[in-house]
């Protein structure tokens, strides 16, 4: 099939999925970050903090692109928050990204999320990869029209978006119009987004849209497989995580996979032993832990509602979102420090089951796209 984007509605749905994808990395990174015990793993804490903040930036950038073409960011759509573990593409197979404590296993997953994936020669020019995803699993970065067709990598998913924008804008241009018809006042700029992983610029035309997509790809995978971005000052996420695994920092001039900078210390046991992919239903009914996990989910749902309003014309509401995120830190810390009743040696965790978060049937989404 032809996987390219041919209509504006389709492009909007792709951008919705880009927001879903960017958001999906936040709960795993955030949980791993706050699972780290106080006083240890300062390098890892710093790396995770920088990366999770940049993922929030990516979420906002995707919202800017969607707004630029007249779309409506919707973070409260029932399928917006992934059900963990969720499936992400990793070449010809997929892998599961879940909620777990900081440790070797979590880092292995994080490296897969950010891996600069280039197709091997024998697959170059081939189409999407067919892979059946069980109905209860959120398949991130899949094709909106065809649930079982997946991109080879996140980079490829974004390339499809970039090409779609270029194609549709050229088509519109020929007809004497543009796809960038969005209300400029809905753009989130650095005025409302202070110190959040990079500068936010308004997306108003093809050039700024392409720059926005490039920023997302470069911060994650690096610039064409290089370890730094194109300004040569910021290390890509993949290589930041790799520094932790290798116990050594990268420095200018290093080759991928061979950091030669100062050594760093990682305490692989220095995290609370949270139960992986915990669900509220697994927590003893009537316990304070269950109450706290539910309260967290409710608050997180309110946070997504606030973001939705902010991305739909009330950017000043983002200022209110900041203290809310710090509130999450306090709530998560309490959850991960409390033992999980009935699971000796395991602690609690946020579950990110957002009220109303039921997977929409693929058919309904397809109808939406065609409408």
Residues near other proteins (CB under 8 A): 37-39, 194-195, 272, 288-289, 292, 319-320, 322-327, 329-330, 333-335, 337-339
Q: Which is nearer to other proteins, 36 or 213 (CB)?
A: 36
Q: Which is nearer to other proteins, 111 or 325 (CB)?
A: 325
Cα–Cα distance for residue pair 203/61, rounded to 1 Å: 8
Q: Least separation, in Å, of the C-beta of 19 and other proteins? A: 22
| Cis-peptide into 85, omega within 30 deg | yes
DSSP, collapsed to helix, strand or coil, labels residue 274 as strand
| In the block, residue with structure tokens 């940049």 | 54
Exposure string (b/e) for 159-180, b if CB count within 10 Å is 16 or more? Answer: ebbbebbeebbeebeeeeeebb
Q: Least separation, in Å, of the C-beta of 324 and other proteins? A: 7
Alpha helices in the chain (DSSP H): 8-35, 42-68, 104-114, 154-174, 206-221, 237-246, 288-311, 318-337, 362-370
* Other C-beta atoms lying within 10 Å of the C-beta of residue 80: 22
Q: Which is nearer to other proteins, 180 or 296 (CB)?
A: 296
Q: Least separation, in Å, of the C-beta of 322 and other proteins? A: 4
DSSP, collapsed to helix, strand or coil, labels residue 1 as coil
Total residue count of the chain as it appears in this document: 371
Which sign, positive or negative, has the C-alpha torsion 134, 140, 141, 143? positive
Cα–Cα distance for residue pair 110/99, rounded to 1 Å: 11
Q: Least separation, in Å, of the C-beta of 56 and other proteins? A: 12
Q: Which is nearer to other proteins, 40 or 137 (CB)?
A: 40
Q: Least separation, in Å, of the C-beta of 337 and other proteins? A: 4
Q: Least separation, in Å, of the C-beta of 363 and other proteins? A: 41
Q: Which is nearer to other proteins, 109 or 347 (CB)?
A: 347
Q: Which is nearer to other proteins, 325 or 369 (CB)?
A: 325
Q: Least separation, in Å, of the C-beta of 73 and other proteins? A: 22
Q: Which is nearer to other proteins, 183 or 288 (CB)?
A: 288
> How many CA atoms lie within 13 Å of 25's alpha carbon, on the beta-carbon side?
28
């Amino acid at each position: 099939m032809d996987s390219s984007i041919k209509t504006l509605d389709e492009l909007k749905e792709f951008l919705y999925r880009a927001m879903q994808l960017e958001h999906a990395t936040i709960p795993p990174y955030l949980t791993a970050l706050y699972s780290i015990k106080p006083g240890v793993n300062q390098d890892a804490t710093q790396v995770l903090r920088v990366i999770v903040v940049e993922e929030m930036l990516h979420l906002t950038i995707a919202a800017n692109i969607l707004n630029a073409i007249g779309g409506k960011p919707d973070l409260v759509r029932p399928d917006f928050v992934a059900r963990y573990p969720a499936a992400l593409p990793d070449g010809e197979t997929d892998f599961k990204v879940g909620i777990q404590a900081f440790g070797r296993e979590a880092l292995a997953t994080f490296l897969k999320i950010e891996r600069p994936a280039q197709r091997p020669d024998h697959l170059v020019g081939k189409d999407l990869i067919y892979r059946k995803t069980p109905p209860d699993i959120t398949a991130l970065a899949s094709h909106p029209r065809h649930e079982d067709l997946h991109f080879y990598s996140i980079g490829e998913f974004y390339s499809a978006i970039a090409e779609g924008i270029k194609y549709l804008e050229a088509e519109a241009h020929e007809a004497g119009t543009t796809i960038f018809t969005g209300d400029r006042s809905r753009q989130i700029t650095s005025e409302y987004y202070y110190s959040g992983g990079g500068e936010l610029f308004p997306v108003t035309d093809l050039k700024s849209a392409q720059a926005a997509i490039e920023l997302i790809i470069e911060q994650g995978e690096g610039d064409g497989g290089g370890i730094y971005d194109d300004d040569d000052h910021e290390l890509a996420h993949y290589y930041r995580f790799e520094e932790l695994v290798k116990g050594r920092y990268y420095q200018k001039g290093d080759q991928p996979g061979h950091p030669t900078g100062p050594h760093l210390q990682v305490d692989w046991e220095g995290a609370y032993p949270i139960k992986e992919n915990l669900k509220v239903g697994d927590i003893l009914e009537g316990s304070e832990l269950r109450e706290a996990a539910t309260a967290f989910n409710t608050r997180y749902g309110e946070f997504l509602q606030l973001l939705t309003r902010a991305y739909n014309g009330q950017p000043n509401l983002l200022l209110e979102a900041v203290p809310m995120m710090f509130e999450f830190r306090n709530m998560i810390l309490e959850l991960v420090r409390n033992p999980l009743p009935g699971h000796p040696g395991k602690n609690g965790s946020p579950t990110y089951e957002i009220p109303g978060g039921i997977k929409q049937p693929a058919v309904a989404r397809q109808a939406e796209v065609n409408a």
